[in-house]
Amino acid sequence: MRVVLRTIRNHFFSAFREIFVYHHTSLEFRAKIYALMIASTDEPIHHYHSALEEIASEIYSESDRAATLVMTVQEYVSTVHAKKMIDHQSLLNDIIQELRLMPRYAQKIESEHLRKLQSCTQEKDSKIYQDRIIDFLNQKRLDFEEIRH
């Protein structure tokens, strides 16, 4: 029964995230960054689940908000892996576009969190690709932090 209620709650939050989640755009931005890292591999998302939950709980003290971040990342990764409407490039373009609109979001790009996700990756080529993503995002962080000041 508890699992059913949690599933219903998750679907409800997913459908109405914009209404019920405080600062949902900030959460969505973080979700896109983490989803980009995970979706850049062909590995199943369950390899990253515990690291993702740990990251979410480090960021958010509220368990509901942390769970919403994890759920949102899973939605993005599932969409990318299913080749629906978005791919790696469109996720990256969304991240850059959001940084242009909200340069303060650059502060949300945290290398240590990205490295924690990367540590869950098994495949060597995927790790190399993730290194490039991390380097690129770190450079964008520096670029947009300069714009902000």
Distance of CA 125 to the CA centre of its chain: 21
Contacts for 5 with CB less than 8 Å, ≥ 6 apart: none
Q: Which helix (H) or strand (E) holds 93?
A: helix 88-101
Domain regions of the chain by residue span: 2-148
The residue among 15, 53, 61 whose CA lies nearest residue 34 is: 53
What number of other Cβ atoms are within 10 A of residue 43's Cβ? 16
Provide the residue type at 1 as one letter. M
CA distance 18 to 14: 9
CA 1 – CA 134 distance, rounded (Å): 41
DSSP character at residue 122? -
User: What's the pTM?
Assistant: 0.83
pLDDT tens track of the chain, all 149 residues?
555 554 555 455 555 545 444 446 889 999 999 999 999 998 889 999 999 999 999 999 888 889 889 999 998 898 888 876 677 888 999 999 999 999 999 999 999 999 999 999 999 999 999 999 999 999 999 998 777 66
Residue type (1 letter), 140: K
